[in-house]
Each structure stands twice: as structure tokens, then as C-alpha cells.
Amino acid sequence: MGHKVHPNGFRLGVYRPWEANWFAVDKDYTKLLHEDLEMRRVILRRLHNAGIAKIETERSSNAQMTVTIHTAKPGIVIGKGGSSVDQLREDLEKRFGNRVRISIQEIKQPELDAQLVAENIASQIERRISYKRAMKQAILRTMRSGAKGVRIYAGGRLRGAEMARREWDREGRVPLHTLRANIDFGRATAKTTFGAIGVKCWIYKDTVSPQQRRMAVIGDGAPIGEAIAPQPEAPVAEPIIEPGVPLPISPSEPSAAAAAPAPAEIVSEKPPRAARTRTAAPKTKAAEGKAKPAPRAKAAAKPKAKAAAADKKPTTRKKTS
């Protein structure tokens, strides 16, 4: 049987940080955990049309909770003159009895956020738009935004059919078992008149380098994909110049002797061709024994052999009766 693993939880600690950053002893852990869950439900219920992708919480030692809302529509969250965010902070403080600080982060490319893509498809299905058309358009927009792969899944009574079924579409590659792969996952539910339809979305952005993993997990303060800025060098003290004393030469600057051009080398001319002699290598006894006779001796020996053959006359035998 295949066991499905949540892609975000599967990569926690590899390159993806936790969404809740706080520590509690055993007796307070359950209470704080349920506070976080209830706080997320309250924010999502009030800002359901603000395009909220993720909510991060952080608790400090002085009983202050920092809530970071990642949204594609920061204007709806803030409201006119900041009235909406102030009202939300007051409601959270009354409900949980802690000081709450709300920070808003804008999502520059909502097409590359899996949660927002899934919610967009679910809203189109609720408005009776064909699920196939919604999935195709979402895949096309995501791939145009620079993703390396996207996969979308929809399941339920699609088009009001009596029998529920599952449909999915994919473009590019989505390596779910590669821990270095930066895969974003999101899911949403479309509540239609004939039942609920679930939508899931996987977006493969790129492979995370070891330096980016360190920055994300250890918490250097820089987001993933952002390089470390070059640091300025320490100022070097200038030497004090006194009259009559030569200036010291720094090791980085070349000296006068090194800066001066090197004298050209004198190349002797080659001797004339007649003056060059080639010495023959001494022959060994084995080489002398295997030496072949000169071609002249062979040529002289051949005519002698032909002459001797010409002098010989064929002899005939007489038959005796």
C-alpha cells in the first residue's frame, strides 16, 4: 500500500522552517497549541477573500505573540487607514489574553503559491466553471511564471455526476521524493450544491542549494534564494611620511625591481647545416649478426646462378631393350 506523506511536513528541517516558532513546557504545550489553531481559524474566517497563503506564529518570553500573515491582497487585510488590522489585533488580544503584534507580508507572485492556486480553482468550480478549464488555465499561468513543474488534482462529484471520481493533470516534473526539491503544496475545498470537491496542488520551483538550506533552517534572517551581501573591508591605516625616510612597500604592490621589465635573453644562432654532425648509435653484436646482406651482393649473386643453370644441359636416358 502506498503511504502518502504531506510534502511540506516531509521537508521540515531540510530547507523549510516551521510555521510556529515557540517553546513550552509539558503542562502548557496543549493550551498553546490549541490557541494557535483557534487563532488561525479566526483569521481565515474573517479574511477568507484576502488570499491568505500562510500564517506564522512566534511567541517571546514576555508573553507577546507575533503573527505574520502572508497574503496576495495586503490592502484587504490592512483596510482603510489600517482600521481592519487594528480591529483584528484587538479581537485576538481579547480572545486569548496576550499581547498580539501583526505583521503582513505581501506575496509578489501568487501564481507560484500552491495554496492560492488551489483556492482559485476551488472558487471557479463553485461558480460552475468547468474543472478541466480551470485546471488547464492554472497550469498555464504557473508554468509561465517560472515553475519547473505543476500537478493539480481534483476529486469528488465532478460536474454533478452521480459517481464520484478523481481527475488530475500535470506539466513538467514534480519530484516528490527528492528532499532538495523546493515543492510547495496546498489544498482547498469547493462547496457546491451537489457536494464538496477537493482540490490539491503541487508546484515544483527549483532545487535548493546547501547554502540556501543553511539560511532557511539555521535562521540567518535572509529568505531562500537571497545571496549574502558582500561585507565592506576594514579600513587600512595610512603610513606616516617623514622627510628623508623611504616609503615602505606593501606586499600587494609590486616592487621597483619586479615592475621593471626583465632583460631579453640572448639566444645563440644555430650553427650552419654543414657544421652539425649526427653520431650513429653503436651497434651491438646481436644487431651485427642479424644484419642483412647489401643489395649489391644479392644482385651480383643472381646472374651467377642463372649462368650456372644455362650451362647444364638436360640428359636423356636410353631405353635398353
The pLDDT assigned to 293 comes to: 56
- 89 is in which domain, residue-wise? 17-107
* CATH code, domain carrying 83: 3.30.300.20
For residues 180 and 191, membership in a common domain is answered with yes
Three-state DSSP class for residue 26: helix
For residues 177 and 150, membership in a common domain is answered with yes
For residues 114 and 213, membership in a common domain is answered with yes
Q: Is 73 within 8 Å of 16 (Cβ atoms)?
A: no
In a domain, 64, yes or no: yes
150 - beta bridge partners?
171, 203
For residues 75 and 120, membership in a common domain is answered with no
CA–CA gap between residue 59 and residue 141 (Å, rounded): 37
Average pLDDT by stretches of 10, the chain with 321 residues? 83 88 89 92 90 91 87 90 89 88 92 95 94 95 94 94 94 92 94 95 90 64 47 59 60 52 54 55 54 53 55 56 48
Q: Considering its fold, how many domains does the chain have in total? A: 2
In a domain, 163, yes or no: yes
Given 107, 135, 163, which residue is the final one in a domain?
Answer: 107
Instruction: Write the CB contacts of 11 (distance below 8 Å, at least 6 apart in sequence).
Output: 179, 183
In a domain, 174, yes or no: yes
Q: Is 186 within 8 Å of 117 (Cβ atoms)?
A: yes
In a domain, 195, yes or no: yes
In a domain, 294, yes or no: no
For residues 48 and 86, membership in a common domain is answered with yes
The pLDDT assigned to 227 comes to: 44
The pLDDT assigned to 49 comes to: 87
11 - beta bridge partners?
none
CA–CA gap between residue 218 and residue 14 (Å, rounded): 10
For residues 42 and 81, membership in a common domain is answered with yes
For residues 101 and 118, membership in a common domain is answered with no
For residues 76 and 55, membership in a common domain is answered with yes
CA–CA gap between residue 150 and residue 153 (Å, rounded): 10
Given 107, 138, 154, which residue is the final one in a domain?
Answer: 107
CA–CA gap between residue 33 and residue 41 (Å, rounded): 13
For residues 28 and 49, membership in a common domain is answered with yes
Grid cell digits, residue 198: 477537493
Residue 208 to residues 57, 84, 125, Cα–Cα distance (Å): 24, 37, 34
DSSP 101-142: EEEEEE-S-GGG-HHHHHHHHHHHHHTT--HHHHHHHHHHHH
Q: Which amino acid is at 208?
A: V
Three-state DSSP class for residue 89: helix
Given 91, 107, 123, which residue is the final one in a domain?
Answer: 107
* CATH code, domain carrying 158: 3.30.1140.32
For residues 113 and 215, membership in a common domain is answered with yes
CA–CA gap between residue 103 and residue 63 (Å, rounded): 17
In a domain, 228, yes or no: no
CA–CA gap between residue 21 and residue 72 (Å, rounded): 23
For residues 57 and 139, membership in a common domain is answered with no
User: What's the chain's length in residues?
Assistant: 321
For residues 179 and 216, membership in a common domain is answered with yes
Instruction: Write the CB contacts of 241 (distance below 8 Å, at least 6 apart in sequence).
Output: 247
In a domain, 6, yes or no: no
In a domain, 10, yes or no: no
186 - beta bridge partners?
201
The pLDDT assigned to 306 comes to: 58
